[in-house]
Amino acid sequence: MSDKHPFDPALFRPEAISAETRAINEAIVKAIADMEEWWNVGAQKMRDARARGEGPFPLAPKSDAARTIEIPGKGGHKIPLRIIAPENPRGVYLHIHGGGWVLGAADQQDPMLERIAKNAGLAVVSVEYRLAPEHPYPAGPDDCEAAAVWLVENAAKEFGTDKITIGGESAGGHLSAVTLLRMRDRHGYTGFKGANLVFGAFDMSMTPSQKHFGNERLILRTVDIEQFGDAFLPEGVDRRHPDVSPLYANLKDMPPALFTIGTRDALLDDSLFMHGRWLAAGNEGELAVYPGGAHGFIAFPGEIARSANERIDAFLSRVTG
């Protein structure tokens, strides 16, 4: 990202995209051109392939520093939490992974969690929430809410600090926003120090950028968004209900937030719109726009990923003071 204002039109023009970013995007499209569709082969088969490092994202090695605990969820369900923590953390980061509410796992981004733990000095707690279509809405949001409640009650005892931040990528950005709203409305808790919302999906009824992205296989196409949404949401659910689409919620009393988005992401409008509503509700919010960034771009080595990740680490460090 340049030093330009995030709404400078120059950031959104083709000439703003670096040669390196163009090459990364071309490589992504080529690498997954013939990849099977998860809705044809089954979600579990695709999850297993991801766990082996097959697919668009680089294989993330497991951290020796990670440990997993279980906490109680709704109805007796046990929720695994993957924890990577430095000695004497200055705060806690509740992390929610992406994957369209269908794919992904808490142990598939250990290097990112390690980086945040090291650079921001935070105990990182990643939620292994239940996935659709086997466990559709509200199972995943319920698990994330339960993890947040547990952290609010136990962070000081477990980690020596009650400074809690929250965040995630894609579906994890969506679930982070939903969790913030549930914690405010259901538990009266507005103590989160910050929210790191990375290319989140905030409107399940589909923003214009979702609808018009098309079929270029740059990680996330229009058809992918449709299939993920249908798997996550049972038939008849109001897709503009605030618990489903946080863009439509009353956003008062939210913490400072950093919205990270690339201009070649089908979810571009979600971050642009959510950032605007965040500010209009009287909250602090930053919008970081990265020319040419595809969905998931922070996982691919390159200058815009380095720049975005540095800003994320600095933001999390700053808000936990």
275, two tokens: 């950032």
Strand order in the sheet with 78-84: 67-72, 78-84, 122-127, 91-96, 164-169, 194-198, 257-264, 285-294
Of 97, 101, 102, 131, residue with least CA distance to 112? 97
Q: Is 275 labeled as catalytic in the residue annotation?
A: no
Question: In terms of DSSP H, where are the helices of the chain?
Answer: 19-31, 38-41, 43-51, 110-120, 139-159, 171-187, 208-212, 222-232, 268-280, 303-320
Rounded Cα–Cα distance for residues 80 and 94 (Å):
13
Name the 3-class secondary structure at 55. Answer: coil
Rounded Cα–Cα distance for residues 232 and 272 (Å):
23
Q: Which of 107, 142, 203, 265 is an active site residue? A: 265
Q: Is 209 labeled as catalytic in the residue annotation?
A: no
Q: Which of 95, 126, 142, 170 is an active site residue? A: 170
Q: Phi and psi for 121 in degrees, rounded to 5?
A: 70, 30
Distances (CA, A) of 249 to 146, 153, 183, 271: 20, 26, 13, 15
Q: Is 48 labeled as catalytic in the residue annotation?
A: no
Q: Which of 95, 97, 275, 295 is an active site residue? A: 295
CA angle 186, 188, 192 (to 5 degrees): 110
98, two tokens: 């992406």
Contacts of range 13-20, beta carbons closer than 8 Å, 24 or more positions apart: 13/291, 16/263, 16/291, 16/292, 17/263, 17/264, 17/291, 17/292, 18/291, 18/292, 18/303, 18/304, 20/302, 20/303
Which residues are tagged catalytic? 170, 265, 295
